[in-house]
Amino acid sequence: MSFAGKIWRLLVGIKDGLALLFLLLFFLMLFSILSSRPNPGQVQDGALLLDLDGFVVEERSVVDPIQTLLSGQAPVGEYPAHSLVRAIEAAADDDRITAVALDLSRFMGGGQVQLQRVGEALDLVRKADKPVIAYSMGYADSGIMLASHASEIWLDPLGGAIIAGPGGEQLYYAELLEKLKVDAKVYRVGTYKAAVEPYLRSSMSDEARENYAALYGTLWEEWKSHVSKARPKIKIDLVTSDPAAWVAASGGDLAEAALAAGLVDKLGTRIEWGERVAELAGEDEWNERPGTFAVTELEPWLADNAADTSGKAIGVITVAGEIVDGEAGPGTAGGDRIAGLLDDALEDDLAALVVRVNSPGGSVTASEVIRDAIVRHKAAKDIPVAVSFGNVAASGGYWVGTAGDRIFAEPETITGSIGIFAVIPTFERAAADLGVNSDGYRTTPLSGQPDLVGGFTPEVDAILQSSIENGYKDFVELVAKSRGKTSAQVDTIAQGRVWDGGTARQLGLVDQFGGLEEALAWAAAEAKLEEGDWHAKRLGSQVDPYQSVISQLLSASASAEPPRANGDMFTYAARAQSQMSAQIVSDLERLTAGKGVQAYCLECPRTGVPHAAPMQSQSVSMWQLLGAFFTR
């Protein structure tokens, strides 16, 4: 072998060895990240830090690893309300925690029901003579609701606070569709089913306005009552009756205006807030940077305070987000996934089952798959089933709830919306304008249908409307059987109308006020279990390990202290623009994605993490359309 050949073989060997070494190092790094868990050893005496950089949610959603890595941005933070409550209640009883530091600088909101429960947990900390110190650059409705439970509310001098109240503008596309010569074929049952109005009208109907006024009026009164009770000195009327005059009285200084109205207690920078927490909880021995304090973060604290597993198990299955067909979720209620969890749990020794619903609706086929799985589970195990409604349980969410023996809701819960619709765009006028015409030969009135370019035949219109009416009849009969009413009685309170929890209870759509804890207690009593003899077992609540990997990889490229969100009015305007863009995308997707019949609650406030659903193909046959037709 020549000398050059030997050198070549040596170089190839070195290259292969280095490649193998780097591959081993990569997998070792990947394994260390995947196997890393919050360490209870990170718990120390001092303050529990709740840095809520995102949304309070019912269930943490799945992160798309490819999309997230390509975006280069860490996923929006999501904090399940039940985890926050467990952490805060543990802090109230643990001598190692002497204060709670509530950092809302990047807080993006949550539903009233969820925030009220977290607020009640913060009240327990204060009752244990432990201060809760909140800070933010800016407070809006959700932040004020949460911070109202704090001992001290700090606001940055350059920030501000506003109270907007529920409600706002809805986009209407009828004139745009007319200009584009696109026909939105709408099929619906329900006087109050307003979700199709954006495609039919240029303004809100009187019926929809009546429903919005009743629903949002109740939510607004509940919000004011809750905040005023937690913070009696707040001047809500001053802030909301003439907000321009209120700000002008402080010379345009939003921070001073917030202080004058009792929205906050003190103005100070984040450094000054940290120094105040350090006075109460102690200095950080490991970090001498200004504004630091002895701290225990949320994840290690939760790891150190694992949920109780003594006694018999009561299963808790969560139906959160839009209800869709397939395996989607968590964070989206994939019907097959949730039904699979229930079927897998048949092997577990569950004493009872609680179904937690926080959904504005979705696919009827998926809703029925979930409902049928609950009924199947109840029959097979012969156990009591309670249903707990969260912030919203409407349309398909209520469909799922009919499987329970008893329904619990809060006064702020949004429910009802028993009505269905479908909207399908056709393009015959737009095509004709472009010189594209449709003609052919039919053997039956259904040949070649649905024809989105040539238009629907009258027979197709009649069949689709009949299907909608039959679906509505099925929905009403299901509710009537569940609630012990006649179909006629349910029809009078259905028609797509949305109700607050208090009115829903008066109408018999809800049995009892209460949250998840009350539903669990009822289920335990029905199963003849004494207090302390049972624990809640969440079905399918494991966190995807790749989510941790992605967060760590993206966080590694960021600074140790991520930038805080500004709290001025311009920031809120920018956020509103982003939310409006998301709404347009969502409305377009609902019109064009071929979802079929909907019983979706348009009136329900959009308080969760915005997720854009992928566009779906519209190339479907008539029978595929009918087969996948019923979506709630």
Active site residues: 193, 395
Q: Is residue 83 within 8 Å of residue 117, measured between CB atoms?
A: no
Helical pair 112-127 and 81-93, crossing angle rounded to 10 deg? 10
The sign of the torsion formed by the CA atoms of 526, 529, 532, 536 equals negative
Contact call for residues 480 and 487 (beta carbons, < 8 A): yes
Report whether 412 contacts 391 (CB < 8 A).
yes
DSSP H or E stretch at residue 629 = none
CA 477/CA 487 separation, integer angstroms: 6
Those residues whose C-beta lies under 8 Å from the C-beta of residue 248, and which sit 6 or more positions away, are none
How many CB atoms sit inside 10 A of residue 203's CB? 10
Which residues, in sequence order, are bridge partners of residue 296? Answer: 48
**All residues at 6 or more sequence positions from 289 whose CB lies less than 8 Å from its CB, including other chains:** none
| Residue 518: closest CA among 613, 396, 407, 432 | 407
Residues 6+ positions from 503 with CB-CB distance below 8 Å: 214, 218
* Residue with token string 């969560």: 318
Strand 597-598 relative to strand 420-426: parallel, antiparallel, unpaired?
Answer: antiparallel
Quick one: tokens of 596? 């079929």
Bridge partners for 110 per DSSP: none
Q: Residue 287 and residue 396: Cα distance in Å, rounded?
A: 51
Q: Please name the residues in contact with 157: beta carbons below 8 A apart, sequence gap of 6 or more.
A: 255, 267, 268, 269
* Element at 341 (helix H, strand E): helix 335-344
Task: From residue 11, give the alpha-carbon distance in Å to each of 2, 8, 20.
Answer: 14, 5, 14
**Three-state DSSP class for 317?**
strand
Given a contact cutoff of 8 angstroms between Cβ atoms, the answer to whether 608 and 57 are in contact is yes
Tokens of 292: 């630091």
C-alpha span between 214 and 238 (Å, rounded): 23
Q: Tokens for 356? A: 């937690």
Beta carbons within 10 angstroms of residue 426's beta carbon: 18
Could you tell me where the DSSP H helices lie in 402-538? 428-433, 458-483, 487-493, 501-507, 516-526
Q: Give the bridge partners for 424, in sequence order.
A: 185
